[in-house]
Amino acid sequence: MAAQPTFFSVRDSLEGRLNLHDHLVPHPESTFFMRARSDAMVGSGIYPADLLVVDRALTPASGRVVVAVVENEFTVRRLHCVADCVLLQADNPEYAEIRFKDLQELQVWGVVTYVIHRP
């Protein structure tokens, strides 16, 4: 049997003062909101114009979606740490992976923790 979702009505939200920051932003001093600009991560459910919640207090880990700085531009990709290099991989097969090896420096700016988009 599938788990049943929990629903909150508008009345519940008003009476209980549901604050999305309490649920989405555990580190307010290091959390930022950014807009996605490409379709590179559609396989992860991130679409152009989606709002990304990015936490800079979290340690980036292999398999996580991160915001990185590549050639002085922000990019959103999935981080993969492999034996001889680090990869930034799009979740859209139309985009090539970005490899970092040897003396190349990768700057991971933050970890994407939530995605907010309109249906």
Residue 25 lies in a domain: no
C-alpha–C-alpha distance, residues 59 and 4, integer Å: 32
Q: What is the chain's pLDDT, residue by residue, as a tens digit (119 residues)? A: 566 666 655 665 555 666 788 888 989 999 999 999 999 999 999 999 999 999 999 999 999 999 999 888 999 999 999 888 899 999 999 999 999 876 567 899 999 999 999 88
Residue 8 lies in a domain: no
pTM of the model: 0.83
Q: Supply the range of the domain harboring residue 55.
A: 30-116
Residue 44 lies in a domain: yes
What secondary structure letter does DSSP report for 101?
-
Residue 34 lies in a domain: yes
Nearest partner of 77 among 95, 102, 53, 59, judged by Cα: 95
What CATH code is carried by the domain that includes residue 80?
2.10.109.10
Residue 108 lies in a domain: yes
Residue 23 lies in a domain: no
Per the structure, how many domains does the chain have? 1
What secondary structure letter does DSSP report for 66?
E
